[in-house]
Structure 1
């Protein structure tokens, strides 16, 4: 009886296989991403981002974000079907690839955060744009934090369902904001025209139309400003005092201003916001009923991404990118070396296919000719039989006439 020999995998290979599994890659990427957020936050809130020059902290941050950019470029221009992509079976064109890339909300977020970072760093090259560059970097850091929510969707079905609820209700939120914006602008223009008709400063007019109605939704009603009188010492009806900027003008038509405020609060706070809360509750209930299904889909997507992606997390992902570049050049050089032989084989294969097609067409034509000849002979035979029967009938008639 043959003996079964057990094969022991070396310990180093076991550890490497464990570290390169999709689950291990996910947790490694998540840990490095948390470290990146901490470093980016430290650079922004501390004095490591000077306004007059670049520092080593800033340079290392740009290198780290540069690895994110390279990875997104690789995702965008990667081959239609990766070599180890066991999940994909249909190849796609470049245009379809780009379209597929931007079907994910997370990819849109990646594009926005990296674009803000690049624009912020470019603005910081110019002395007059350093302040604007810092603002763009702050927005980029905020989007990087929001982007971390994707990692939370994989932790568990409960947390993942909550994150999905947020994104699913964004479309309803934008629809309600559009309706609320119409009501807000209508009230703002009417209130500004009634209370402060003589104010012509563009900033003051814009603040009265947009700033005041927005904060009134949150409970800041500005009643002291609406009910202000010259006796209070907070406003004035003297045009000279108003032009000098010592005191703002007193509001007019206060009673009608209060009436418009009541109508606006009923529409915005009582009606529209409660409708939005009801819509949000309905969407949350529907998603919660399918929480496991949504979480399974997110888990599958993340597993596929980790399986087909580089094995190392940023910033060490640059090593994987260099490996891909070297392998690409090697394959091109190897392909150029044996290109002539492959070309000859392709020509020979094409000739064989041509001969096969010609042979098939010849056999098909001969078969059709044979069929046509057989059909013609059958028709001629049927015609002869028909003529013979007709002649027999004529002879029989003649015999009957002769006999009579």
Structure 2
């Protein structure tokens, strides 16, 4: 709006008001210079891109701090050093801030029921990784203080923390959602994981069959013939995994270990010859058939996602905007105060809504809310016109594409059938196609005539209007 005209607020401040110039042009403070600076600073830090950059920098710092702590300062408490290092304390604070932030995001979801909020929240795989990462972190923290009397017991806490760090590193893939050419690949990875789960069921059946059959012929009845000190035929989970599952699994990557050397040590034994044949069939089935099947499944999934890149990118843009709309514009631990304040406000008004049936009218809503309700009707009309125009364009494009493809296929069929004169069926089809083309040409000629007649009528109207204009000018 021009500077000399009064500006009024058009959008509610508790909704999406990025496009409303009122907050920048007419701030509340009376001192104008401070006013403009404070409002520009506020809008700058509340911008989604700035929130994203702050969160990205903070998350990188958290990963580096957690990695340093686990590598150099994660030690068992002793009498000489009973306390934990300050880097570990800072890591605990950062993880707790992320937990409060996720609770705030969960409470601000658009769903009204708890079940709806859970469905919307856990639909995002990175949110599941966040919950798992926070849970493993606190489990490792508990083990770090309750099972730390010896180094062997302290290993449990270190293993849990190491797995947790791996999950936090994988969660950092969520930051590439803003990149248009990389974001849709996350969807492709998610769909490939479903294909991989199906493949793992097949590969487990094949590997279990070969593992049990080969070990029942070679190692378990002939354990005294091989100089392997770590081989055990005991019936327990660790021995079964060590002797059956692990060696057969690594065969998929071409690592035979002592598999062939043990069989070649007894080349004339019946069990050795049978196991050689079984191993050859197993390698043919797994390394050639199943691996190529997996590659083909991945290629199909990638092509599906690549063809739908634009719609996937728009969906990811919405998820990015929705998530950072409620995020704090501050770094931890200052963001902890922001999140706790909003959580307390949500809790208080939730209790008041149950008692007095009154809700928080100033709560942040992910929606553009106009002050003048007449704007809503204009927006609906604009959306309806835009939707109609888009649907009309898409229908026109698809119709022209189908007509071009149909005509091209018909011409190819005619060219092929002209070379075969002895086949009666082909000749009949060619005659039918010619008749169809004649009918199409007749229809096209008729449409040309109608268009020509319409143009002549329009020209006649224009000439008539020109004559009226000339008469009016002469008067």
User: What do residues 313-368 of structure 1 show as CA deviations (whole Å, max 9, x unaligned)?
Assistant: 444320212332564688699x79x979x9xxxxxxxxxxxxxxxxxxxxxxxxxx
Structure 2 residue runs of 5 or longer lacking an equivalent are 7-24, 26-31, 224-232, 359-475
User: What do residues 90-127 of structure 1 show as CA deviations (whole Å, max 9, x unaligned)?
Assistant: x5212222232222211111111111111110111122
Partner of 2:204: 181
1:221 is displaced (CA, Å) by: 1.8
Counterparts of 1:5-404 in structure 2 under 5 Å?
Answer: 7=25, 10-46=36-72, 48-52=73-77, 53=82, 54-76=84-106, 78=107, 81=110, 91-126=111-146, 127-128=148-149, 129-154=153-178, 156-198=179-221, 199=223, 200-202=233-235, 203-222=238-257, 223-227=259-263, 229=265, 253-324=271-342, 327=345
> What secondary structure does 1:125 align onto?
helix
1:136 is displaced (CA, Å) by: 0.7
CA contact (8 A) 2:51 2:324 kept: yes
Deviates more, 1:265-274 or 1:315-324: 315-324
TM-score for the superposition, normalised by structure 1: 0.69
User: What do residues 245-281 of structure 1 show as CA deviations (whole Å, max 9, x unaligned)?
Assistant: xxxxxx9721111111111111111111100100100
Give me the whole-angstrom Cα distance separating, in 2, the residues matched to 1:262 and 1:274.
17
CA contact (8 A) 1:23 1:303 kept: no
Give me the whole-angstrom Cα distance separating, in 2, the residues matched to 1:283 and 1:116.
32
Give me the whole-angstrom Cα distance separating, in 1, the residues matched to 2:189 and 2:349.
45
Cα distance change, pair 3–263 in 1 and its aligned pair in 2 (3 A) = closer
Give me the whole-angstrom Cα distance separating, in 2, the residues matched to 1:311 and 1:266.
57
Give me the whole-angstrom Cα distance separating, in 2, the residues matched to 1:182 and 1:3.
75
Give me the whole-angstrom Cα distance separating, in 2, the residues matched to 1:307 and 1:206.
48
Partner of 1:4: 4
CA contact (8 A) 2:143 2:157 kept: yes
Equivalent pairs counted in the alignment come to 308
> What secondary structure does 1:50 align onto?
coil
CA contact (8 A) 2:51 2:327 kept: no
Give me the whole-angstrom Cα distance separating, in 2, the residues matched to 1:134 and 1:21.
39
Deviates more, 1:21-30 or 1:195-204: 195-204
Give me the whole-angstrom Cα distance separating, in 1, the residues matched to 2:347 and 2:313.
40
1:59 is displaced (CA, Å) by: 1.3
Cα distance change, pair 221–305 in 1 and its aligned pair in 2 (3 A) = same
> What secondary structure does 1:157 align onto?
coil
TM-score for the superposition, normalised by structure 2: 0.59
CA contact (8 A) 2:105 2:323 kept: no
Cα distance change, pair 16–339 in 1 and its aligned pair in 2 (3 A) = same
> What secondary structure does 1:26 align onto?
helix
Give me the whole-angstrom Cα distance separating, in 2, the residues matched to 1:11 and 1:67.
29
- Higher Rg of the two aligned structures: 1
Structure 1 residue runs of 5 or longer lacking an equivalent are 82-90, 232-250, 343-404
1:205 is displaced (CA, Å) by: 4.3
Cα distance change, pair 339–26 in 1 and its aligned pair in 2 (3 A) = same
CA contact (8 A) 2:211 2:248 kept: yes
